[in-house]
Structure 1
Amino acid sequence: MTSTEPGSLLHRIVIDPEICHGKPTIRGLRYPVESVLEYLAGGDSFEEVLAEFSDLEREDLLACLQFATQSLKMRSWQLVTA
């Protein structure tokens, strides 16, 4: 999923069938977007997640949120047209 919108961080999200069974990951680093979102939904702060996974950057976490938002928008659109 990529976006040409200014300020988009979606280029940081990679979908590769050879990495994590094709699940969306952050920069191909084997950190599934889903897992990062679970940490954030569980109450972990950005700072806590970044401290736990030192090779991640703040923009990676923002990219996960942006990816989730775009995914929901697409899914909502599909539900409306179905």
Structure 2
Amino acid sequence: MSEIGRIVSDRAICHGQPVIRGLRYPVSTILELLASGMTQDDILEDYPDLESGDLVAALEFGALTAGRQRVLPFDAA
């Protein structure tokens, strides 16, 4: 099941960068943490606001954008 709905973009949050659920965690930061070798458990321990589905959403967003598909996150509520 897709978790992409957890990714939002709002000009008032991180200058409109795609973030996780409006929490001010840019998707790019999550992807960098994963790429650095941190495990999902490490990240969830260091960032207790995040949930497992948030990390899946970041990976899904990264995969979609890497494939040159245009992804437009919804504005935060």
Q: Same fold (TM over 0.5)?
A: yes
* Number of equivalent positions: 69
Q: Are 2:46 and 1:52 equivalent residues in the alignment? A: yes
Q: What is the aligned counterpart of 1:72 among 66, 72, 75?
A: 66
Q: Are 2:21 and 1:27 equivalent residues in the alignment? A: yes
Q: TM-score, normalised by structure 2?
A: 0.86
Partner residue, 1:11: 5
Partner residue, 2:32: 38
Query: What are the ranges of 5 or more consecutive residues in structure 1 without an aligned counterpart?
Result: 1-6, 76-82
Query: What are the ranges of 5 or more consecutive residues in structure 2 without an aligned counterpart?
Result: 71-77
State the identity %.
48
The structure with the largest helix share of the pair is 1
Q: In angstroms, what is the RMSD of aligned CA positions?
A: 1.0
**Partner SS for 1:18:** coil
Which ranges of 4 or more aligned residues in structure 1 deviate by more than 2 Å? none
Determine the C-alpha separation between the residues in 1 that align with 2:4 and 2:22. Answer: 12
How far off its partner does 1:55 sit?
0.9
Higher RCO by CA contacts (8 Å cutoff, separation 6 or greater): 2
How far off its partner does 1:23 sit?
0.4
How far off its partner does 1:8 sit?
1.0
Which protein shows a greater Rg?
Answer: 1
